Copies of this chain bind each other. A is one copy, B any other.
Amino acid sequence: MVEPSGSPLHETGPFVWPVRVYYEDTDAGGVVYYANYLKFLERARTEWLRAGGFGQEELAHEHGVVFVVRRVEADYLKPARLDDELIVTLRVRDLGRSRIEFSQTVEKKIVLMQAAVQVVCVGAESFKPVQIPAPVRERIERIS
């Protein structure tokens, strides 16, 4: 369960990760292509996991699990542009047995895009939902 009080990280706000916009991220409209924001969100989730002590490779090979995205609700409010230095934020809204719900934003002073992302812990081979392994869960609780 996400218990904000007592969590030192939470008290100082959400997890944040900086992202710079390069040509690769933009499209002919002159703005960041809408699918690419999802890459930014995932970079922040990956770095948040890493801050908790887990690389994606380690999750797959040592714990036999992968977190896959089950649902995304994304609102695109204002476009991000070439050279922008964005901040991606992440908060754990809910931590279930095999599911984590994140509240995320992409910001540049104001919120440009906000999203609710639900990931599910699945077997790295089976892709079937499994319980989040205890050592992983423990760390996640600590950083949520």
Chain A residues at the B interface, C-beta cutoff of 8 Å: 20, 22-24, 26-31, 33-36, 38-39, 42-43, 46, 55-58, 60, 66, 68-76, 79, 81-83, 124, 127
Q: Which residues of B contact A38 (CB under 8 A)?
A: 34-35, 38
Whether B56 pairs with A82 at a CB distance below 8 angstroms is yes
Whether A24 pairs with B23 at a CB distance below 8 angstroms is no
- What's the dominant secondary structure at chain A's contact region? mixed
Whether B81 pairs with A57 at a CB distance below 8 angstroms is yes
Whether B83 pairs with A76 at a CB distance below 8 angstroms is no
Whether B27 pairs with A23 at a CB distance below 8 angstroms is yes
**How far apart are the CA atoms of A43 and B28 in the complex, in Å?**
15
Known contacts A20-B43, A28-B28, A73-B74; 12 additional CB pairs below 8 A are A22-B39, A22-B42, A23-B28, A23-B42, A27-B28, A28-B30, A29-B124, A34-B72, A56-B82, A57-B81, A71-B73, A72-B73
- The chain B residue sitting closest to A50, CB to CB, is B83
Question: Which of B26, B36, B71 is A76 in contact with, Cβ under 8 Å?
Answer: B71
**How far apart are the CA atoms of A93 and B96 in the complex, in Å?**
33
